């Protein structure tokens, strides 16, 4: 398991934004993963997706790595941000925009605003 944790550590360390999810950003395999990937895709965030369904060791390892029991899991600049509910709340409150700005992550601010407008 330590090999997997090291692999996860390297992935989140070497990529600005990483989403551990069921499926891929092009083809999510669960509603929660689809929601988070949809937000990131819509906001034009360049991110790395890791399909936990492709490797059971990664699926279990990411839960142990973050001490968070569910997937999807979003990481920005090596920091665990949260799952679907947290990312949704952060998107609607504007906190995700702030995090991206402070982290130097490029995203479409107009599209982020449109998400909030559509959900107000």
Whole-model pTM: value is: 0.96
Sequential DSSP letters for 25-77: SSSBSSHHHHHHHHHHHHTT---EEEEGGG-HHHHHHHHHHHT--SS-EEEET
pLDDT in tens, 101-118: 999 999 999 999 999 999
> Which domains are delineated in the chain?
2-115 (3.40.30.10)
pLDDT at 1 over 60: no
Instruction: Name, in order, each residue with C-beta under 8 angstroms of 120's C-beta and a sequence gap of 6 or more.
Output: none
Burial class (CB within 10 angstroms; exposed 0-12, middle 13-18, buried 19+) of 78:
middle
pLDDT in tens, 59-89: 999 999 999 999 999 999 999 999 999 999 9
Q: What confidence score (pLDDT) does residue 120 get? A: 85
Q: What confidence score (pLDDT) does residue 2 get? A: 77
pLDDT in tens, 30-64: 999 999 999 999 999 999 999 999 999 999 999 99
């Amino acid at each position: 398991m330590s090999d997997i944790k090291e692999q996860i550590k390297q992935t989140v360390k070497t990529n600005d934004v990483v989403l551990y999810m069921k499926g891929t950003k092009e083809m999510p395999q669960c509603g929660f993963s689809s929601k988070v990937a949809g937000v990131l895709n819509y906001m034009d965030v360049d991110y790395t997706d890791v399909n936990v369904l492709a490797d059971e060791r990664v699926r279990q390892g990411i839960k142990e790595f973050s001490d968070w029991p569910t997937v999807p899991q979003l990481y920005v600049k090596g920091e665990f941000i949260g799952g679907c509910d947290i990312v949704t709340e952060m998107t609607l409150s504007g906190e995700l925009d702030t995090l991206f700005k402070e982290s130097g992550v490029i995203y479409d601010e107009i599209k982020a605003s449109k998400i909030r407008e559509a959900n107000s």
